[in-house]
Structure 1
Amino acid sequence: MEEKQLPHNHGQRIEHSLDEMPATQEFQAVSDIFRQLGDSSRTRIFWLLCHCEECVINISAIMGMSSPAVSHHLKLLKASGLIVSRREGKEVYYKAADTQAAQLLHHMIEKMVEITCPTLS
């Protein structure tokens, strides 16, 4: 990266950090994934699918939500690449994607629950 003259010099040497900073579109991709988990129902569904493979009807029953609402959340999670689906006859089963991003987000959710809800530990 070319030398950037900042408006204020605070005595910090941030050139290396700026050279390592990912591109704006990379931050957008990260933000898009976090946006998916900004809804507590979607986070619960994702967490569940990290632990099992399930169909919409059963997810609806577990979550106490309507099938259309669950389907909407599943569509968003699938579009973000966090979950995958497979069809068996008329039934479609969903589970967490076997990707580094999905695994990391699952781990982050587990850790955040530990931190924010210490009485559950």
Structure 2
Amino acid sequence: MVEAVRCHMPEDELLDSISDTFKVFGDKTRIKILYVLHTCELCVCDIAQLLDMNQSAISHQLRVLKQAKLIKSRREGKSVFYSLDDSHVRMILSMGMEHAKEQIL
């Protein structure tokens, strides 16, 4: 049984990547940003207003989320709009919320 599991273990590089992704989810502010972006695409000023934070703090967290490939951006004139990168991020966030709600109830 042990050998069968060992044969299917992912490489350390992949496990490191998964670990790094979940570390990004470990910050409450970043979770809040992901949650508002789960609803719709927003610019920095809208996110800052929704979370009652300053734009520079939001911009810093957006950089972290973008580097982790959890969000993407698009430019429209002088404004930059942010959204979740793909359906996988949406699913991870939804499943995390569902799991947390079960733990609370």
TM-score, with structure 1 as normaliser: 0.81
Q: Deviations over 1:57-114 (max 9, x none)?
A: 01001111110000011001011111010111111000101242x1332222221331
Which structure 2 residue ranges, 5 or more long, are not aligned?
Answer: none
Q: Does 1:68 align with 2:56?
A: yes
Residue 21 of structure 1: aligned partner: 9
After TM superposition, the structure 1 = structure 2 runs for residues 41-56 of structure 1, keeping only pairs within 5 Å, are 41-56=29-44
Residue correspondences, number: 105
In structure 2, C-alpha distance between the alignment counterparts of 1:59 and 1:91, rounded to whole Å: 13
Q: How far did residue 50 of structure 1 move? A: 1.4
Amino acid at match of 1:117: I
Percent identical pairs in the alignment equals 33
Q: How far did residue 51 of structure 1 move? A: 1.3
In structure 2, C-alpha distance between the alignment counterparts of 1:51 and 1:109, rounded to whole Å: 15
Higher Cα Rg, which structure: 1
TM-score, with structure 2 as normaliser: 0.92
In structure 2, C-alpha distance between the alignment counterparts of 1:84 and 1:31, rounded to whole Å: 20
Q: Does 1:97 align with 2:85?
A: yes
Structure with more contact order per residue of length (Cα contacts < 8 Å, sep ≥ 6): 2
Residue 88 of structure 1: aligned partner: 76
Q: Does 1:107 align with 2:91?
A: no
SS at match of 1:70: helix
Superposition misfits of 4+ residues, deviation over 4 angstroms? none
Which structure 1 residue ranges, 5 or more long, are not aligned?
Answer: 1-12
